Homo-oligomer: A and B are copies of this chain.
Amino acid sequence: MQRTEISTLGEFGLIKHLTESIEIKNPETKYGVGDDCAVLSYSDDKEVLVTTDLLMEGVHFDLTYLPLKHLGYKSAMVNLSDIYAMGGIPKQITVSLALSKRFCIEDMEDFYDGLRLACDAHGVDIVGGDTTSSRTGLAISITAIGEVEKGKAIYRNGAKETDLICVSGDLGGAYMGFQLLEREKEVYYQQIESAKSDAERMAIEQPDFSGREYLLERQMKPEARRDIILALRKAGIQPTSMMDISDGLSSELLHICTQSKCGCRVYEDRIPIDYQTAVMAEEMNMNLTTCALNGGEDYELLFTVPIADHEKVEQLEGVKLIGHITKPELGCALITRDGAEFELKAQGWNPLK
């Protein structure tokens, strides 16, 4: 594989190389990469949504199993997901990268390929690209910008007693994909260590992931739920609160309940879980409900709707009712299959703990 040192292009040359073929798709984008700022134009009847994320190598991603193209895709997707989580439509992103010396131009091309794939799928313009150096590892900062009709942004604080709690897709898959990849990485390192010759090292086989493709996809290629936002609009449903599930269902539900000053009841048997997730949890001897409640990175949407929308929301494909909002005094409870009640706790991933 070719490896061209980044110093052959320099900072400005690299940005130009990575961004020069970008075509602007949205009328809201007046000017993209290449000046001190991007220039955007949003009409009066819209509100502008802005979200930003900083991803650090060794904390948020592991390049031993996540190819740079997937990393580019995922980095964009997690930010687009935040725009959808407000009920909005993303229009632009800016990207800043800090690179250590071990990265070459081809690496950055791979990263940008993934980034552009995600942006193209969601009609998003890349309007800012910035690269600099890092003393260790890779740091990625992405800002996503989008729009929502004035007054229609969906916050975390609008849930009301008797509202129905809904979730898109299924949960726990990204977390089980992570567990699977971590296990295979461990196995690989052990094989490398015990190999007695180069020939033996060369003979180490790639892990067999057949039957687990869905879990890998959930972890390595998450999809922001634009389709759900469009379906909600089409059905005329305005959710009272919404978040995307990045840290785990429990953690996000507690955010909504705290900010909305309410309680909730969620039913274990209603939580959507894929078959592969269940098999993997069994194999790893992990509690499936715990994985689905606390596993992060699914980037599904969690939202509440007025009970009057019950029938409308039941007809939405890929959306499941998992419980309802209660008075704050009742707390946040999980009702298990056998009718027992447990207090929901946020055990989601906390990078600062």
Contact = CB atoms under 8 A, between A and B. Distances in A.
Interface string A76-88: 0000001101101
A141 B40 CA distance: 21
A131 to B, nearest CB: 7
Contacts of A31: 153, 155
Contacts of A50: 37-38, 40, 50, 92, 94, 127-128, 143, 145
Contact of A132 (B49, B56, B244): B56
B53 A47 contact: no
Interface in A1-41: 6-7, 9-11, 14, 30-31, 34-41
B352 A14 contact: yes
Copies in the complex: 2
Interface in A117-166: 127-128, 130-137, 139, 141, 143, 145-146, 148, 150, 153, 155-157
A131 B92 CA distance: 23
Contact of A41 (B48, B137, B145): B48
B48 A48 contact: yes
A260 B124 CA distance: 28
B51 A128 contact: yes
B137 A94 contact: no
Contact of A36 (B10, B30, B51): B51
A181 B146 CA distance: 43
Contacts of A171: none
Given A7-B353, A54-B97, A97-B54, A135 B37 contact: no
Given A37-B83, A39-B153, A352-B131, A143 B52 contact: yes
A58 interface: yes
Nearest to A258: B12
